[in-house]
Structure 1
Amino acid sequence: MSDVLELVEARLRTALGAPDARAAVTFLGTDRIEVLRFADDGVVRYATLGMSAQPMSDPTAVVADPLRGPRAELVLTVRGGRADTDKVLRPLAVLAASPQVEGVIVAPGASLDVGDPLWPGAPFTSVLVAEPGGLVEDLELDEPLDPVRFLPLLPMTPNEAAWKRVHGADALQERWLRHGTDLRDPLRSGVPLDD
């Protein structure tokens, strides 16, 4: 499936330019996950590369289909220079490996939690998976392979994550919008949740 990853990297380069850094992480029993860093005009984007090599499979399925199933990579966007966000590489790789390790399907509306700050001093330990298609277009693959979707990640404070579990992803995103929350600010405080 290295040809899939070559196509994915080409799509990322077309959408985001050439990466200025990359790091690889391998977890026991999983394929290698790379995280590419793209810096442009005060904004830093981190994109995983490797999650889409295998399709995500239903954890209740008796046998995983080696070809069919959703494929995705993760993209995180933050404002540069405000925090040591480059330390997010390992947490991002952990999230990208979760379909292989935990048998989960990562899809829009899901919450992913790493249990620790995403980077030193970060008020976030989890992310909300947003809808794809805005920054990086889906990558169509030859049949019978599903397309690769590039899923944006929106960092959440622990209180936002708890509120989202009760009220849902759409309600949290609407609240962020209503309060003008800068979701790219790596040091932002949580959105008001009691009004």
Structure 2
Amino acid sequence: MADVLPLVEARLRSALGEPDARAAVTFLGTDRIEVLRFQEGDIVRYATLGMSAQPMTDPTAMLADPVKGPRVELVLSVRAGLADTDKVLRPLAVLAASPQVEGVVVAPGASLDVGDPLWPGAPFTSVLVAEPGGLVEDLELDAPMDPVRFLPLLPMTPNEAAWKRVHGAQALQERWLNHGTDLRDPRRASVPLG
């Protein structure tokens, strides 16, 4: 079985360019997670590397399948220079380790919460997992392995996260769209939810 991570890193590089920084975090009982930083103009992108090494397993399954199951990496895009967003590396690694630590399957529409600001002074403690396919194309792997999907993360304020729990991810995304919300602004205020 091919090692997935070199293929994933190659896909990230072909889509986003050369990373200008990388950090590695290892949590007790988990595989190492790296976070790569890419800058293009005034946009900084942070991408996890390591989450897709193993397929995510349904927590109700009796046995974890070592080959089949969804594989993902996370991508966060923010405007550069407006906040100390490089401190997001550890929170991102925590989110990327959550399938191994908590047995969750990360999929579009899910909310992921780190419980603390994503970076110093950030108005966000959680993210909405968005649909893949826009920025980094899925990486097909040899059968029977599932492809690696690159899921964008959209930071949410606590009010937005609470509203999303009641009304759903689609409704929150429509509200952002209708109000012209700049989801890459690391200092943005909550969208009007009245």
1:98-117 residue pairs with structure 2 within 5 A? Answer: 98-117=98-117
CA drift of 1:155 comes to 0.1
Report Cα offsets for 1:46-101 as digits up to 9, x if no partner.
00000000000000001100000000000000000000000000000000000000
What is the identity, as a one-letter code, of the residue corresponding to 1:27? Answer: F
CA drift of 1:38 comes to 0.1
CA drift of 1:3 comes to 2.0
CA drift of 1:2 comes to 7.2
> Mind listing any 5+ residue stretches in structure 1 that lack a counterpart?
none
Contact 1:87–1:119 (CA under 8 A) maintained in structure 2: yes
TM-score scaled by length of structure 2:
0.99
Query: Which residue of 1 is the match for residue 29 of structure 2?
Result: 29
Cα distance in 1 between the residues matched to 2:140 and 2:115: 33
Query: Which residue of 2 is the match for residue 58 of structure 1?
Result: 58
Give me the identity figure in percent.
86
1:140-159 residue pairs with structure 2 within 5 A? Answer: 140-159=140-159
What is the identity, as a one-letter code, of the residue corresponding to 1:140? Answer: E
Cα distance in 1 between the residues matched to 2:172 and 2:45: 23
Decide whether aligned partners of structure 1 residues 2 and 74 sit closer, same or farther in structure 2, where only a CA change above 3 A counts.
farther
Cα distance in 2 between the residues matched to 1:187 and 1:121: 8
Report Cα offsets for 1:80-131 as digits up to 9, x if no partner.
0000000000000000000000000000000000000000000000000000
Query: Which residue of 1 is the match for residue 69 of structure 2?
Result: 69
What is the identity, as a one-letter code, of the residue corresponding to 1:162? Answer: A
Query: Which residue of 2 is the match for residue 45 of structure 1?
Result: 45
Cα distance in 2 between the residues matched to 1:3 and 1:28: 22
Query: Which residue of 2 is the match for residue 86 of structure 1?
Result: 86
Over 6 Å off, 4+ runs: none
Query: Which residue of 2 is the match for residue 168 of structure 1?
Result: 168
Residue 13, structure 1, aligned to residue 18, structure 2: no
> Mind listing any 5+ residue stretches in structure 2 that lack a counterpart?
none
How many residues are matched?
A: 194
Query: Which residue of 1 is the match for residue 178 of structure 2?
Result: 178
Aligned partner of residue 3 in structure 2, secondary structure: helix
Aligned partner of residue 140 in structure 2, secondary structure: coil
| Cα-Cα RMSD | 0.8
Cα distance in 2 between the residues matched to 1:2 and 1:67: 11
